[in-house]
Structure 1
Amino acid sequence: MENDESVSEPMKFESVPQVNVPKGRDGKHKAIITQLLSDIAQLGEGTALKVPLSELPDTKENIRSALSRAARQGKINLATSSDDDFLYIWKTNEED
């Protein structure tokens, strides 16, 4: 007894165990973002983190984007600025 629903085409793509699948954004920027968020959590009021651009593993734009996503997830309000040599990061109040 042949059922049309049980007949399927062969798979075009390879399957892998889920444990072998990379976990989204847990890659490229995780270490630096985790470190920055840890340092930011320890900042006193009215102070900013001064991060040498030479120590960032990617462009300041990409790090800012990743930091912004992580801060939004953690409900942390941050502001950033930069010059030729440093990225500055500080906590802000919600009304800022």
Structure 2
Amino acid sequence: MSNYEDDPIPTPSKFQSILQIDVPKGRDGKHKQIIVQLLNDIDQLSKGSALKIPLSALPDTKENIRAALSRAARQKNLNLATSSNDEFLYVWKTEEAS
């Protein structure tokens, strides 16, 4: 049985190394641009209004965008509700958590 300290010959690294300064900080996922835009638009909504977003304008499925939007809203303590049909995703602010 071999002890790690007893192995005089290091084995080659399996994984690439990078400088710590180059390590990404925070979550800049593939949906960041659309989520930032949606949050900006939601922030400008008047009470009782909803965004009507064409599904064709989304860079991913409505399910993935809805999930990313939900995560971002939760981080900002923003209560949102969503609905959708075959053509549009609707998003609006709520008073209570949905």
* TM-score class normalised by the smaller sequence: 0.7 to 0.9
| 2:17 alignment partner in structure 1 | 15
Equivalent pair of 2:51/2:92 in contact (CA under 8 Å) = yes
- 1:72-95 superposed Cα distances (whole Å, 9 cap, x missing partner): 000000000001100000000026
**Match of 1:66, SS?**
helix
- Taking structure 1 as reference, are residues 72 and 8 closer, same or farther at Cα in structure 2, changes over 3 Å only? farther
Deviations 1:20-61 (A, max 9, x none): 344563031000000000000000000000000000000000
Sequence identity of aligned pairs in percent?
66
TM-score using structure 2 length: 0.82
Correspondence for 2:43:
41
Which residue of 1 is the match for residue 63 of structure 2?
61
Conserved in 1, the CA contact under 8 Å of 2:80 and 2:97? no
Q: Give me the whole-angstrom Cα distance separating, in 2, the residues matched to 1:13 and 1:95.
A: 43
TM-score if structure 1 supplies the norm length? 0.83
- Separation (CA, whole Å) in 2 of partners of 1:95 and 1:25: 23
Greater displacement, 13-22 / 38-47: 13-22
Alignment size in residue pairs: 92
Q: Which runs of 5+ in 2 are unaligned?
A: none
Q: Deviations over 1:10-29 (max 9, x none)?
A: 43322112343445630310
CA distance in 2, matches of 1:64, 1:8: 51
